[in-house]
Structures are given as structure tokens and as C-alpha cells.
Amino acid sequence: MTDHQTTSSNAALLILEDGRTFRGRSYGAQGTALGEAVFATGMTGYQETITDPSYARQLVVQTAPHIGNTGVNDEDAESRKIWVAGYVVRDAARRPSNWRSERSLDEELIEQGIIGIQGVDTRAITRHLRERGAMKAGIFSGQEAARPVPELLAEVNGQASMEGARLAEEVSIDAAYVVEPADHGWEGEPRFSIAALDLGIKSMTPQRFAERGVRVHVLPATATLADIQAVNPDGVFMSNGPGDPATADTQVGMLRDVLDARMPFFGICFGNQILGRALGFGTYKLRYGHRGINQPVMDRRTGKVEITSQNHGFAVDAPIDGVTRAPEERFGRVEVSHVSLNDDVVEGLACLDIPAFSVQYHPEAAAGPHDSAYLFDRFIDLMAAEKQNPGTTDAADVSKAPIADTDTTVAVASDAKEEN
């Protein structure tokens, strides 16, 4: 029964770029994993977290102490594979227990070759990252753990920084595909169709559109305006994704073309940063980012607070108060529609003269609360308005409406279907 104890065969090390070292036991596959160490504070949803492409090239530290309790199932993954570069947990489950569980997380990590470490003081790591910022790190396990620490530290420091990393194309798909409303409980003909750029898209995002009767053409990150026009969409969407938005010139250029064409636009997360850059604002790296499912955001139009799911290390640099002229002046006036109540970071942009808006957080949730699902309806309303009165709408028109009270009921009902 030595599986509780550290042996030479299961030893593992987490080494941060400033030399701080944590010793634990290996979890999942063994070997070397390099990436940016970040912490995520959700108490549920580890399966969604590890399969979120936005975590590409990151070593994710879970602050929740028990990970793996509900195993892994075939429904909750947010993409085709696990994206985290490495996984750091305190107490890994010995056996999963949940009626939907298909296999253990440990098995899944091994199967997909994901290197993890368990038994470390995840709170100490989190505090370190909070005070010193997200940083380069490495997990070394099995034989790798036996190597001299200075050598390992050098390897950690030798990796490329997240700042300046261009990753969207790496995680995106090669070929376009379509998500049909009929496959997600929508009865009748689709109401709208959109082109969704996959910059690291989570599967819940097209699903949330499809449930509302929107056909989603998911296109690769390199899609051009012509590719978009080829599917004749009612609107354009840009997803979340990993990396530094400053490297996304291709997408920024393409989005400017879309905005110039007055196509309704909605962006989430990376998509928000791209809208910001397209409008001429800058983006910057947060010290340790927002990664959790308890983040309060205020919708400044309604004064209401949403508890949101977030995963971002970069943010848009825009004036948070009042209406601003977009630095790219042809796009007119812009306002910061959503702000983080924790630290005043820009959490959403709304264009007042063109039909475009975006949020920095994740209304599709998965993992996370469903408070912000109304944004999908908001985009549908925007597309509807633009269809009715082409060339006259803007993002402000549809967001004045109060948040629909029935949202939660809708979400309940649709979730019920999934689970049966």
C-alpha cells in the first residue's frame, strides 16, 4: 500500500521560474511538462477546464483540494482533447463516483499523455502566483524528477514566454464543420446562421447558439472574409482561445473587414480582445489573470451583477467610464459594457454605431454559472434587428432590454434534456 507514499518511481517536482520548488507525487502520465503556471479556482468542472483550449501551454493549478471525484464522462469535455500542458492538484481521487462517470481522471490523463503532480500545497503555489504573477514552470516526474534541480530550472526558464505567444492557429481545427440546431433540441427551421471562428472554441458555445435555433458554421482560425461570406451568415462570432492577442493580427484584420461590412459581431474572451484591438485599443497581460467560475461582473447598462465563468490572462485596455471614440475612428463610439467588480478589468465592449459587442468572460459557462446566457439572446436580437433594418442597428439597441427573468428556467429545462 505504498501508493500513499512517495517512492523514486512516483516522485514529481513542480519548479517555478523563480526557483521555488514543490515536491509531490506524479499524477497521470510521467515525464516533463513545461508551460505557464496559472491557478484556477472553480470547485467543480475539472473536466471542462482541462479540455478548454484556452489552457493550451499552461500548467493549471487547481485550488479545489479534491480533483477527480466524479471521474471523466463522454459528455462534459469542451473539445476533442485535453489541452492543459500539465496538471497540478492536491488530492487526486482514488476512485471516481458519479452516475455518469466512464473512467477515472487518472486514466484519462495517462491515456492522453498529460503529466501531472499531486500532493503539493496548491494553496502555497496559488499565493506565490498571486503575489509574483503567472510564470513559467515545469513538472518533472518519474525519471525526470531524479535530474538535478538546477538543470530542471534551466529547462523551465528556457521555454518561450506566454507573452507574444501565438497559439490560436495551433488549437484551431483544420476543416470547417456545422453545428445544427436540430441536434440540440431545437424544433423547426434554424432562425439564423453564424460563422464562428474557432480560436480555441469550447463545444458549449456553438451548442448554446444551436439550442436557440442558430446554425453555427465553425471555421478555422485562419478563415478569411471570403470564407465567411461563403457560408452567408447573419452574424460573425469569435471564440475564446489561448495566447497573446497582440499576435492575432490576422484575426484583427479579418474582423475589421467584418465590421466594415457591417456584419453583426459577437466575441467571447479572445474574441473580446480581438474586437478591442480591431477598434484600435491595446491589450495587456494581467499579473495572474482571472480563472474561476465565481467572478462578479457588472452589466453597466442594467446595473445587474452576473456571476461569471472566466479564463483569461490578457485584457483590453480601454477607458472604463463613459463613451469613447474608437481609436479606429471609422467604427464610431464604444463603451465598456461590463466590468469586473473585483478589479475593474474590462469585461465587455459594446459598439454604439455598429452592430458589434463582446465579453471577456464565458457566457457559455461549462464550467460555470448560467447567469450570462442572455448574451446569446442579445446577439440573436442584434442579428434580427440588423436583418429588419439593415445598416441602422448598433449593439446598444439590443442591450437596453432588461435581462430576461426566464433565463434560468430555460437553462434548467435544456439541461434536463441533456441529462436524461
Partner 1 sequence: MPKRTDLKSVLVIGSGPIVIGQAAEFDYSGTQALRVLKEEGLRVILVNSNPATIMTDPEFADATYVEPITPEIVEKIIAKERPDAVLPTLGGQTALNTAIALDKNGVLEKYNVELIGANIEAIELGEDREKFKGVVERCGAESAKSIIVHSMDEAFKAAEELGYPMVVRPSFTMGGLGSGMAYNAEDLRRIAGAGIQYSPTSEVLLEESILGWKEYELEMMRDKNDNVVVVCSIENFDPVGVHTGDSITVAPALTLTDREYQRLRDISIAVIREVGVDTGGCNIQFAIEPDTGRVIVIEMNPRVSRSSALASKATGFAIAKIATKLSLGYTLDEIPNDITQKTPASFEPTLDYVVVKVPRFAFEKFPAADPTLTTTMKSVGEAMALGRNFTEALQKALRSLEQKDSQLTFEPVNDFEVPELVEKAKTGTTERLSQVQRALLGGATVEQLYEATGIDPWFLDQLQLINEIAAEIRNAPTLTEEILRLAKRHGFSDEQIGKLTNMPEAVVRGVRHALGIRPVFKTVDTCAAEFAAYTPYHYSSYDEEDEVELHAKPSVIILGSGPNRIGQGIEFDYSCVHATMALREAGYETVMINCNPETVSTDYDISNRLYFEPLTLEDVLEVIAAEERTGGVMGVFVQLGGQTPLKLAQALADAGIPILGTSPEAIDLAEHRGAFQRVLDTAGLVAPKNGTAVSFEEAKKIADEIGYPVLVRPSYVLGGRGMEIVYDEPNLSRYIANATEITPDHPVLVDRFLEDAIEIDVDALYDGKDMYLGGIMEHIEEAGIHSGDSACVLPPITLGTSVIERVREATFAIAQGVGVRGLINIQFALASDVLYVIEANPRASRTVPFVSKATGVQLAKAAALIGTGVTIHQLRTAHKMLPETGDGSTLPMDAPVAVKEAVLPFNRFRTPEGTVVDSLLGPEMRSTGEVMGIDKYFDTAFAKSQAAANSALPTSGKVFVSVANRDKRSIIMPVKLLVDLGFEILSTGGTAEVLRRNGIQSTTVRKVAEGRGPNGEGTVVDLITEGAIGLILNTPSGGQARGDGYEIRAAATSVGTPVITTVSEFGAAIQAIEAMRQYEWDVTSLQEHALKLKAAVDA
Contact between 39 and partner 1 (CB under 8 A)? yes
DSSP, residue by residue, 163-227:
TT---HHHHS-SS-EEE-GGGGT--SS-SEEEEEE-SS--THHHHHHHHTTEEEEEE-TT--HHH
Size of the site for partner 1 (CB under 8 A): 69
Taking phi over 0 as left and psi of -120 to 50 as alpha, with beta for the rest, 121 belongs to beta
Q: Closest CB to partner 1 among 280 and 296?
A: 296
Which residue of 80, 103, 304, 330 would you call a contact of partner 1, by CB under 8 A? 304
- 47 touches partner 1 by CB under 8 A: yes
Q: Which residues contact 327 (CB under 8 A, 6 or more apart)?
A: 279, 280, 281
226 binds partner 1 (CB under 8 A): no
Instruction: Check binding of 103 to partner 1 (CB under 8 A).
Output: no
**Please, are residues 152 and 123 in contact by the beta-carbon 8 Å criterion?**
no
Angle at 100 between CA 309 and CA 111, to 5 degrees: 80
> Using an 8 Å Cβ cutoff, are 210 and 194 in contact?
no
Stretch that binds partner 1, among 89-97, 163-171, 353-361, 391-399 (CB under 8 A): 89-97
Q: How far is the CB of 28 from partner 1 (least distance, A)?
A: 19
104 binds partner 1 (CB under 8 A): no
Catalytic residue among 217, 364, 370, 386: 364
Whole-angstrom CA distances from 359 to 87, 148, 235, 248, 274 are 27, 45, 16, 17, 11
Q: Is 307 in the site for partner 1 (CB under 8 A)?
A: yes
Percent of residues in the chain assigned helix, strand, coil, to nearest 5: 30, 30, 40
Pairing of strands 135-141, 11-16: antiparallel
Q: How many CB atoms lie within 10 A of CB 383?
A: 25
- Tell me the C-alpha distance between 232 and 277, whole Å: 25
**Least distance CB 318 / partner 1 (angstroms):** 21
Among 14, 35, 38, 45, binds partner 1 (CB under 8 A): 45
CB of 161 to partner 1, least distance (A): 23
The only residue of 10, 30, 69, 203 in contact with partner 1, by rule CB under 8 A = 69
Catalytic residue among 184, 290, 338, 362: 362
Q: Sort strands 356-359 and 265-268 into parallel, antiparallel or unpaired.
A: parallel
Q: Is 42 in the site for partner 1 (CB under 8 A)?
A: yes
- Establish whether 362 is a catalytic residue: yes
Please give the single-letter amino acid code of residue 42: G
Instruction: Pick the binder of partner 1 from 30, 295, 358, 399 (CB under 8 A).
Output: 295
The catalytic residue positions are: 269, 362, 364
* Interface ranges with partner 1 (CB under 8 A): 1, 4-6, 22, 39, 41-45, 47-48, 63-66, 69-70, 73, 75-76, 90-91, 93-100, 120-124, 126-127, 130, 292-296, 298, 303-305, 307, 341-343, 365-370, 405, 408-409, 411-413, 415-416, 418-419
